[in-house]
Amino acid sequence: MKIAVLDRRALGEDLSLAPLERFGEVIVYPTTSEEELPARVADAYIVLINKVRFGRAAFDAAKKLRLICEFATGYDNISLEDARTHGVAVVNVPAYSTESVALFTFATVLSLMTHLSEYRAYVADGRYTASGVPNLLSPAYHELAGKTWGIVGCGNIGGRVAAIAEAFGAKVIVNRRREDPRFCCVDIETLCRESDILTLHCPLNEGTRHLLNAERIGMMKRSAILVNEARGAVVDSEAVACAIEEGRLGAFGSDVYDGEPLRSEDPLYRIRERENVILTPHAAWGAYEARERCLEIVCENIRAFFDGEIKNRVDI
């Protein structure tokens, strides 16, 4: 039985895939293009993917396919309609990256708040040594305590971010689909108007596509920090780029893009080198420990499928 791993590089080449070998012959491809996909899945029984888009043409070519394992929580790269039509099960990996994404969220926010890259550059390029002054306090930075931290999407990751923000002394407000007594829940417009920091942790669907559009970004404080750790299309990239360029948004960070890797024609590419912008290469999910957990759950999903159990199925 053939198991095809279609985008090995997206999983991190330091992670051993040996645990998969107990289920069958493992064929590993570093990356897989749209043109290469049909041939590579033609005789695969199981496919493991992270970012490869799997649509009708791939399903039509995969005559032996019975199971797709998403090496992630989000599965918007897979056509579930075509999976159902072709009788292919689809499983994902929930709640494995909570600590990793929360860590990256805070690293990004705190770096932007404290102007850390600018202060580091001041020392690294010799200006501090040449200045004759024992300290530099410009640009000014502010404490997190007492600030309002807004969160869109307060599931496992958003909830963890909320807990850490509160530990720093921030007031947390939340926008989520359903009210939750644990949080101060507000509508999206209130969240945009009141937040000093606004972080995104929601799934991408028709209700969240361009949720942060030009109108809502225009409601935000000029000093606000916006960080996207959800999906690229949750924000309107052109609206964000314009707000940064025109000084209508304090700072922006993103680890996700509407098309990955970040394309040169993406509006965010224009602002990638600005001091108040931190763009990272979709790395937030992938602390080594998180990827180990992810692989363990993938293996458990495969075992459950063979044993006739319904576990982490997203196609039913």
pLDDT digits (tens, 9 = 90+) for 113-151: 999 999 999 999 999 999 999 999 999 999 999 999 999
pTM: 0.93
CATH number of this structure's domain 98-279, picked from the four choices 3.40.50.11540, 3.40.50.10860, 3.40.50.720, 3.40.50.1820: 3.40.50.720
Enter the tokens of residue 130: 């040449």
Alpha helical stretches, state H, 183-222: 188-194, 214-219
Q: How many CB atoms lie within 10 A of CB 246?
A: 9
Q: Which pLDDT belongs to residue 179?
A: 86
Run of H or E including 162: helix 156-167
| Domain edges within the chain | 2-92+289-306, 98-279
- Do 2-92+289-306 and 98-279 have matching folds? yes
pLDDT reported for residue 156: 94
Average pLDDT over residues 81-99: 97
pLDDT in tens, 39-82: 999 999 999 999 999 999 999 999 999 999 999 998 999 999 99
CATH T-level assignment (fold) for domain 2-92+289-306:
Rossmann fold (3.40.50)
Alpha carbon distances (Å) from 299 to 10, 21, 143, 170, 220: 18, 10, 44, 39, 44
Residue 260 reports pLDDT greater than 90 = yes
Task: Please count the other Cβ atoms lying within 10 Å of the Cβ belonging to residue 38.
Answer: 14
Contact by Cβ (8 Å): 148, 171: yes
Q: Which residues are catalytic?
A: 231, 260, 282
